[in-house]
Structure 1
Amino acid sequence: MTFEAEVAARVAANETNAALQADAKTLMNSSIGAGYSYNFSWMGRPIIQYPQDIVAMQEIIWRVQPDLIIETGIAHGGSLIFSAAMLELNAACGGSADAQVVGIDIDIRSHNRRAIEEHPMARRISMIEGSSIAPDTVAQVQRAALGKKSVLVCLDSNHTHAHVLEELKAYAPMVSVGSYCVVFDTVVEDLPADFFPDRPWGPGNNPKTAVHEFLKTHGSSFEVDRGIDSKLLISVAPDGYLKRIA
């Protein structure tokens, strides 16, 4: 059996490993309560992601070889820097030399914008300040996506059901076949309601509920890559790795 086949077998076994699944859920609950994801950075900028999801994104970016990555939600810019760095590595290995990242946020704070613009990876990054679902914002991104061969989308802004559903409707059509629309923080659906006392989202109103509604009408074009879920176990995006299949 090849190494790749051994990996596939182990990942498949995770799906039915009840003890491992329970342990993973316990760790997710306790680590989210402890603010675990806020402890990491990428090339000097806070990334606010779990290491497992960072590795999953690296694998996807290498496999898909995007010439455009679209991200909603910028915060401190770590995810933008990560994506740009992965594109830089792809280019060094023969991938697209001019691949770009477009980041969108309703409020790009001046100190974060300055840090991103001064970063060595800035040449691959452009930013749009505005609501990710505003028609003029979507139109700007559509123009950026024109002529691109491989487009990857990451949604990580406002986590309410209504907002994420509108983002999916706007940005999922830009994803190229074989690439992904990754919806972060779907884990909100699986957490206790009291985890979000000061947020407009929670169980029943979150990115995962939006994903499930979106797939009711777009299931012929996108599917959840459950292999990624089974591999990671610890992830803020269960059911959120949506692969475009048609």
Structure 2
Amino acid sequence: MDPVEDFRQRVARNIRRIGEDRDFIGLTNIWVRESIRKEYAQNFTWLGRPVIQVPQDVYAIQELIWTCRPDLIIETGIAHGGSLVLSASMLAMLDYCDAIEAGTVLDPRASRRKVVGVDIDIRAHNRAAIESHPMAHKMVTIQGSSIASEVVEQVKAHAQGYDRIMVFLDSNHTHEHVLAELEAYAPLTSKGSYCVVWDTGVEDLPDEMCADRPWGRGDNPKTAVWAYQRLLSAEGRKAADGERLAFETDKTIEHKIAITAAADGFLRRI
């Protein structure tokens, strides 16, 4: 057997076995719960900015962007800007690799690839850090509620002319808000690309861990994902490109990384 194919099959077996191992997944769920108590995800930066993601999800983002090669990434929830910088740097890496393969000189500011980030409150110190970052030329920020009609229209305007679009949803985590985000932004996802809904794990946390939040068990991103999938199945929706809109939950990614803030949240448009 070709060694490349042999290794690919070995990895596929590894991932399948993880998904079938309930004890291992149980240990993972315990680890995720306890890591949240210790604010573990806040410990990491990407190119100097706090990214507020567990490292395994950062790996997943890298693989998704490299595989899908989006020209535009839409993100709700900016915080310190690390996630925007992560997406922007991966888009810059695509530009760099494209230039090498084409044998051309890379002009970093000539590429149309960019990330559009939305947040209801972009604090002054975070805005200053984002705007002064070397990746600033690939980032567009919009302040306002991600489900406000005027904000949605701004994002859609930025999406005009882009064929390969990826979406990350990570702002207010209530069921109602995330479901509204899915209705607004999931249709922009291009076929074969992903709409990723973060912090679905709220559904699996003890009630006391969300006692000071407006979301919790039964009212969170995962319940919104489930509801949106039911709507797509029962009522149908059209994507922005005019075709039928449908997503599959990509459990392969979830089983591969094992530790994630997006269980049931890696939605691949099919």
Aligned to 1:230: 255
Per the alignment, residue 241 of structure 2 pairs with none
RMSD of aligned residue pairs (Cα, Å): 1.2
Name which of 197, 202, 221 aligns with 2:216.
202
**Residue in structure 2 matched with residue 152 of structure 1 by the alignment:** 166
1:190 aligns with 2:204: yes
Within a 5 Å distance, the mapping from 1:168-187 to structure 2 comes to 168-187=182-201
1:13 aligns to 2:17 (yes or no): yes
TM-score normalised by length of structure 2: 0.89
Matches of 1:18 and 1:221, distance apart in 2: 29
Q: How does 1:3-152 map to 2 (within 5 A)?
A: 3-94=7-98, 97-152=111-166
Following superposition, the deviation at residue 18 of structure 1 comes to 2.0
State the alpha-carbon separation in 1 of the partners of residues 220 and 142 from structure 2.
Answer: 24
Q: 2: distance between equivalents of 1:97 and 1:13?
A: 41
Structure 1 Cα separation of the partners of residues 232 and 267 of structure 2: 11
- Please give the alpha-carbon distance, in whole angstroms, between the structure 2 residues aligned to 1:73 and 1:131: 10
- Greater radius of gyration (CA): 2
User: Equivalent pairs: percent with the same residue?
Assistant: 51
Equivalences, count: 245
What's the secondary structure of 1:2's corresponding residue? helix
Q: Counterpart amino acid of 1:47?
A: V
Partner of 1:162: 176
Distance 1:153 1:29 in 2: 26
Shift of 1:86: 0.4
Structure 2 unaligned blocks of 5 or more: 100-109, 234-244
CA shift for structure 1 position 22: 1.4
Structure 1 runs (4+) greater than 3 angstroms displaced: none
Tell me the CA shift for residue 197 of structure 1: 1.8
Residue 97 of structure 1: CA displacement? 2.9
Q: Counterparts of 2:22 and 2:65 in 1: how far apart (Å)?
A: 30
